[in-house]
Structure 1
Amino acid sequence: MSVLLQKFTTKHDTAPFSQIKTEEYLPAFKEGIANAKAEIDAIVNNPEAPTFENTIEAMAFSGATLDRISSIFFNLHSAETNDELQQIAQEVSPLLSEFGNDVRLNADLFNRVKTVYDSKSTLDLTPEQITLLDKKYKSFSRNGANLSEEKKNQLREIDKELSKISLEFGENVLAETHAFQLHITDEKDLSGLPEGTIEAAKEIAQSQEKEGWVFTLDYPSYVPFLTYADNRELRKKMAIAFGAKGFQKNEHDNEQIVLDIARLRFERAKLLGYASHAHFVLEERMAENPEKVTTFLNDLLEKAKPAAQKEFEQLTQFAKDLDGIETLEKWDGAYYSEKLKQQLFNLDDEKLKPYFKLENVLEGAFTVSNRLFGLTFVEVNDIEKYHPDVKTYEVKDIKGDLVSIFYADFFPRKGKRNGAWMTSYKSQYVLGGNNERPHVSIVCNFTKPTETKPSLLTFNEVTTLFHEFGHALHGMLADTVYPSLSGTSVYWDFVELPSQIFENWCYEPEALALFAHHYETGEVIPIEYIQKIKESASFQEGLATMRQLSFGLLDMGWHGQDPTGITSIKDFETEQFASTKLYPDVKENAMSTSFSHIFQGGYSSGYYSYKWAEVLDADAFEYFKEQGIFNSGVAQKFKENILSKGGTEHPMVLYKRFRGSEPKPDALLKRAGLV
């Protein structure tokens, strides 16, 4: 019997990675689904009248083995994938989608849930239990429980197809990312590039037994190249390759997949009685509906656009004066922005990186969370890892009790998708009087240490680490009864608050003094650098805001209306980007074909939530600044009302309990220098 189907005998019940054989996943999934079905059948066939305990609560704790297998498998599918895992994912996704529908479309189960739901005013339930009951009822009503048999079958087919093609979308993006390399053999083409970037490119070349230097579309290679390489033609080559992912009429083309995903999501929403996919999604978000989101995005656009246009004109003029550039192209943006930033603030990543050794920055995140929430992190070597690069920690509270297990995985490798994310291997919940503690992981793609240097982070990577760590704290400090309401299981446009607020500490002298020490001399980062970091934080904030808003508007374009008339992705994007366009268009490029956030991740109709959460985080951090950034009273309120509560109550209720009022955009506009 597979280890995946047994109770783990490991320390703290952690995932026994080394004992799991790849060929065990598929049979384990099938068995896990069968067991979960049996648990549902037991609830349906219970001869007693439906109650909160024997129906709603029983469902909340059913399928635990399947959830555990899924979390292990899909986390590895993102962080340590291979051809076999990708093949299994293709087979398993439709099975899981089918099982989800078997539950949601089970009429007898829905009748039991509805009976409890209809009598909820007579029940003595906690706020968390009321939320659970509402969510369980909606998980049926929003997924077709009230449909006819024929329409239920249509829904099943749509869901099966969607789960399959969104996986294909992601695999195509990964294949396209790996398919392109820029192989440089002439040293003069490296002009402008930082030493660390050059060294990393040399190591990639050596690993492939090639002479010279190899640059890839992975962020730690791509971003520095676009930012620093003096050779404009090569920047253009890299930028066009990056923007052409999934848009090259080859075997990894995502154009039809994008059209199919948008169409299927729309058909699904119509089937369920909603005007569009966005109407369906936003019903369960703080933003409530597409009109509110579009108004929110356009209001911000109105405030950011004048600043963005001014910044763009300044950048255009700067590039012209410096290098005689007549037309500023997309592959010039990062390069000249960096040069202008250096001229204005005399501050570049290369100056800052020595103060941000990865180990010190991680220690800094630990220290800040110790000062705020009393947590300590102890690295341990007796918890299994899925890759040698991973670090494992026991997280404890002031009393020395275990709060969480923490995994950290920082470097790019083949089989790991780009970007950075937080995930969990086990949720927190309370069962049989036991408070089961969560197992939380953050996964990033930072520059690897080389033979001569440790991993030194750009300031952007520092804020990325703090961002993901903020999500991790949301998971670690969870203190709820039911696993489905625990940790980051909150409304999507609320989930970025803990991550984005944590980034604020990276800009505060008091916090930076704790960890920003020169990796060779131990000297604390000079105060003038900190001043410049703060001043430069709002540098080109208008442009950055426009970029985020353009993605949010594109997302609403795909999902807030009927997309069935769209035949050309390129034409559609041109239309959607009209109000935010500054750079000339690049005909070989499209955004949607590699826009993984909305076509593979969970951000469809939700990309606006980054900006939405920025309003929340700026408003919330303002409270910390008023009282002191390490004020224990404010930290305690944040922990009790936000971090530990998960999705047990409506986020606006939780936020007002913490802050005393609804959030206002003023703090964000002030911080971004847009007022």
Structure 2
Amino acid sequence: MSESPIQLPTTVQELNEITVRAQDILRSSGENLVGIPPAERTIQNTLLKLQEDQSHAAALQTLCTFPAMVHLDKDVREAATEAKKSLQKAWSALFSRRDLYAILRQLEQDSATVAKLNAEPETKRLLGHTLRLFERHGAGLSESDQQKLIQVRSEISSLELDFQKALNEDTTDILLTADELEGCTEAWKSGLARMEKDGRNYYRVTMKTPDILNVSRNASLPETRKRVAVTYRQVCVTTNSPILDRLIQLRHEAAILLGYKSHAHYQLDINMAKQPETVDEFLNDIMSSISDKLEDDKKELLELKRQEYETRGWSNQFDGILHSWDVKYYQEILFKKKYAVDNSLIQEYFELEHVRDQIMGVYSKIFQLRFEQIPGKYWADDVTLFAVYDQKAQDEAGEDAKRDPSAFKIGYFYLDLFPRPGKYSHQCVVPLRPSFVVSQTGERLLPVAVNVGNLSRPTADRPALLKHSEANTFFHEFGHVCHAMSSKARYSIFNFSWSVVPYPTSLAMDFLEVPSIMLENWLWEPTVLKRLGRHYKSGDNLPDELIKSLVKTRKVLKGLLFSQQLAITAIDLKVHSIDPNSREQSIAQLWKEMSESIVGVKLEDGPNVNPACQLYHIAMGYDAGYYVYAWSEMHAHDLYTRFRNTPESETKALDEALGREYWEKVLVPGATLEPIELLRSFLGREPNQQAFQRYLTEP
């Protein structure tokens, strides 16, 4: 038996039994609280007991919900999807109880209780967040309106999971010949499945991220790139388009019931931004800053397209239009021609296991942690498990630490990095178990997380190799892992988390990405790139000249690429800010119209094309929340000024004291403090946009 803190069920029956146990904890928790005579009610046996019961249920729920994303058995995945629906209903039922809400509200009216809460800020904050959860579940509404809200929310939860499931289970692929894949590397093609049809040999190209990226960046025939782009934009449209229409309608109805103008107003009310109007102003400022650069970027790519068409004798086919399937392809050509950066060559220096170990080395240095791999077999053969230790605390303990090194263990994380059928097909970090202090023993239950990735698999003749962008994503996600490991909060509600789990948390969505986006800066530091880059055959380090060239590409096409992100942000915010009954266009039409207007790149056409249907975010808690990436990047650049005060200054990226300060002031508090307080604490001043604006506008 391995040390694994999580043992996923192997059968549907086992999974269902765990689901019932978690539901029973939540159900009995409410009943027990109501059963306490009014004169005997205290903070401990009401608020704190309710929170601890939720914590235990949250620690259990992973076993019956996470399998939906990764389990090898399709029946178990489907059962896990249904289990998540059941548990979302169980949590919603708990926070919909008007009797519990009334009991907790009474805590605010007792002077002795208020005095005690004032002396315990974290517990006082817990009461505020718990009451807010009840209110956002309609406990303050009339009974009839609350019942309507419960019905609407139940349907929303079910539809969101159906949307995700359709994408996870999708097996769409297309058959392409070697000629059609001209320009793509042999190394990538060697990892593709093959088949013979009508006497011709074909490669089977999936609609998963590694395949889409390889085609979009390298396939020199525009028709091939177009076919893949259009096919991807048709994935799950038949299933997810009606789901999305219904979701947006129901979200609006729920927001109106709760007294909000729109779903966007409801979502942002508990975030840093507070209201959509603030985000609109923010987006307009960014678009104004990058507008000239956007136009220059498009002209530069279009000129490269014209030159290639002329060179290849296709001049009569040149349409003077930049299509969506042109962008990444001509970006690669630009990197090679202008910056001497060949991403296929650079990829040979980023062997996955070496990159993984070096990334852990960087994080262990700057945060003063230690990572130890735990051998064992987990839910898939290529999943690995690591324990995390607070090396700084262990060093400070001196000889005492040698007697019990396990006392300095602060958490566990898994790496599940490669695609497989039925698995969640993007990148994310899932909190598998929150951290909290068990009241009966005073011991802390350690957090557990998993980095779910979809990186390029090894092939028969070479190991798994990462593009720099994939290494950057890995580094970003590992920042989330460390955030999850850092909690010293007494209560689980203040842990790192996000909406992929059914239990309630309170970390603001527009702060969630800030710490990891800040840490992406490390993947552009020459000292860090030197550590990560080692040729998988020769063992040579990434050459200094190649590092310099790569670093120069960081802002290349930033106007165009950032505007594409902002277009999705604007679309997401618009569809969730207006009454869907007043919207004349379909979501697909609105997406095309707004994106082409904002970016100026021609999108895919054709039957059943709808980019919203492949956007996991819109059904995974980022609805009216896609803005968090740009918003977080603003704060991330501001935070990074502590590591690089001016563009010319020597980097402090590997400064242990500064890195540990970041850990202690930004990551460790979690949601026990407001995000603005965390930013002020580390910056020593009020946050501002200056560093972000420099990043957007300076060469």
Shorter-chain TM-score bucket reads over 0.9
CA contact 2:368–2:390 (8 Å) conserved in 1 = yes
CA contact 1:356–1:518 (8 Å) conserved in 2 = yes
Superposed CA deviations along residues 327-373 of structure 1, whole A, max 9, x for unmatched, are 32211111112112211101021121121100111111111112111
CA contact 1:423–1:442 (8 Å) conserved in 2 = yes
Partner of residue 415, structure 1: 422
CA contact 2:51–2:491 (8 Å) conserved in 1 = yes
SS in 2 for 1:487: coil
Moved more, 403-412 or 664-673: 664-673
2:30 counterpart letter in structure 1:
I
Within a 5 Å distance, the mapping from 1:461-610 to structure 2 comes to 461-488=470-497, 489=505, 490-566=507-583, 568-577=586-595, 579-588=597-606, 589-598=609-618, 600-610=619-629
Q: How far apart in 1 are the matches of 2:7 and 2:652?
A: 43
CA contact 2:483–2:668 (8 Å) conserved in 1 = yes
Q: How far apart in 2 are the matches of 1:221 and 1:548?
A: 21
Q: How far apart in 1 are the matches of 2:236 and 2:175?
A: 21
Q: How far apart in 1 are the matches of 2:145 and 2:124?
A: 30
CA contact 1:29–1:66 (8 Å) conserved in 2 = no
Q: How far apart in 2 are the matches of 1:52 and 1:529?
A: 61
The structure 2 residue matched to 1:113, chosen from 89, 95, 104, is 104
Partner of residue 454, structure 1: 463
The structure 1 residue matched to 2:216, chosen from 223, 226, 235, is 226
The alpha-carbon deviation at position 242 of structure 1 amounts to 0.8
Q: How far apart in 2 are the matches of 1:521 and 1:282?
A: 51
Partner of residue 262, structure 2: 276
SS in 2 for 1:502: helix
Residue 373 in structure 1 maps to residue 367 in structure 2 = yes
Superposed CA deviations along residues 180-233 of structure 1, whole A, max 9, x for unmatched, are x22234x322311012211112x4659xxx954211111111111111111221
SS in 2 for 1:493: helix
Q: How far apart in 1 are the matches of 2:213 and 2:517?
A: 22
The structure 1 residue matched to 2:687, chosen from 656, 663, 670, is 663
SS in 2 for 1:544: helix
The alpha-carbon deviation at position 590 of structure 1 amounts to 1.9
Within a 5 Å distance, the mapping from 1:145-164 to structure 2 comes to 145-164=139-158
Percent identity, aligned pairs only, is 25
Moved more, 216-225 or 33-42: 33-42
Q: How many pairs were matched up? A: 653
Partner of residue 127, structure 2: 133
2:669 counterpart letter in structure 1:
K
SS in 1 for 2:642: helix
SS in 1 for 2:171: helix
Unaligned runs of 5+ in 1: 1-9
CA contact 1:507–1:534 (8 Å) conserved in 2 = yes
Residue 74 in structure 1 maps to residue 65 in structure 2 = yes
SS in 2 for 1:188: coil
Partner of residue 326, structure 2: 332
CA contact 2:182–2:221 (8 Å) conserved in 1 = yes
Partner of residue 99, structure 1: 90
CA contact 2:366–2:657 (8 Å) conserved in 1 = no
SS in 2 for 1:377: strand
Within a 5 Å distance, the mapping from 1:85-484 to structure 2 comes to 85-89=76-80, 91-119=82-110, 121-123=114-116, 124-175=118-169, 177-179=170-172, 181-185=173-177, 187-201=178-192, 203=193, 211-247=201-237, 252-323=238-309, 324=315, 325-326=318-319, 327-382=321-376, 384-398=377-391, 399=394, 400=405, 401-431=408-438, 432-484=441-493
1:224 counterpart letter in structure 2:
N
Q: How far apart in 1 are the matches of 2:181 and 2:459?
A: 18
Within a 5 Å distance, the mapping from 1:626-637 to structure 2 comes to 626=645, 628-637=652-661
The alpha-carbon deviation at position 305 of structure 1 amounts to 2.0
Superposed CA deviations along residues 431-452 of structure 1, whole A, max 9, x for unmatched, are 2321221112101111111111
Partner of residue 3, structure 1: none
Distance 1:174 1:380, change over 3 A: closer
Q: How far apart in 2 are the matches of 1:394 and 1:171?
A: 31
Q: How far apart in 2 are the matches of 1:580 and 1:80?
A: 40
Partner of residue 668, structure 2: 644
2:482 counterpart letter in structure 1:
L
Distance 1:534 1:75, change over 3 A: same
Distance 1:510 1:216, change over 3 A: same
Supply the RMSD in Å over aligned alpha carbons. Answer: 2.1
SS in 1 for 2:431: strand
2:279 counterpart letter in structure 1:
V
CA contact 1:367–1:514 (8 Å) conserved in 2 = no
Q: How far apart in 2 are the matches of 1:105 and 1:111?
A: 11
Q: How far apart in 1 are the matches of 2:467 and 2:135?
A: 47
Residue 624 in structure 1 maps to residue 643 in structure 2 = yes
CA contact 1:656–1:662 (8 Å) conserved in 2 = yes
Q: How far apart in 2 are the matches of 1:664 and 1:605?
A: 23
CA contact 2:181–2:215 (8 Å) conserved in 1 = no
SS in 1 for 2:613: helix
Q: How far apart in 2 are the matches of 1:214 and 1:12?
A: 39
Distance 1:90 1:386, change over 3 A: closer
Residue 42 in structure 1 maps to residue 32 in structure 2 = yes
Partner of residue 51, structure 1: 42
CA contact 2:487–2:495 (8 Å) conserved in 1 = yes
Superposed CA deviations along residues 540-578 of structure 1, whole A, max 9, x for unmatched, are 000111011001101101111211233622333244336
SS in 1 for 2:265: helix
CA contact 2:596–2:602 (8 Å) conserved in 1 = no
Q: How far apart in 1 are the matches of 2:72 and 2:594?
A: 34
Moved more, 53-62 or 578-587: 578-587
Superposed CA deviations along residues 147-186 of structure 1, whole A, max 9, x for unmatched, are 11111111111011111111222233345x412x22234x
The alpha-carbon deviation at position 11 of structure 1 amounts to 6.0
Superposed CA deviations along residues 17-48 of structure 1, whole A, max 9, x for unmatched, are 3x642222223312321232112211121124
1:604 counterpart letter in structure 2:
D
The alpha-carbon deviation at position 674 of structure 1 amounts to 4.8
1:43 counterpart letter in structure 2:
L
The alpha-carbon deviation at position 673 of structure 1 amounts to 4.3
Superposed CA deviations along residues 395-431 of structure 1, whole A, max 9, x for unmatched, are 2222242121121111111011211000122111122
Distance 1:426 1:84, change over 3 A: same
1:453 counterpart letter in structure 2:
R
What TM-score, normalized by structure 1, do the two folds share?
A: 0.92
The alpha-carbon deviation at position 100 of structure 1 amounts to 2.3
SS in 2 for 1:484: helix
Q: How far apart in 2 are the matches of 1:586 and 1:453?
A: 35
Partner of residue 52, structure 2: 61
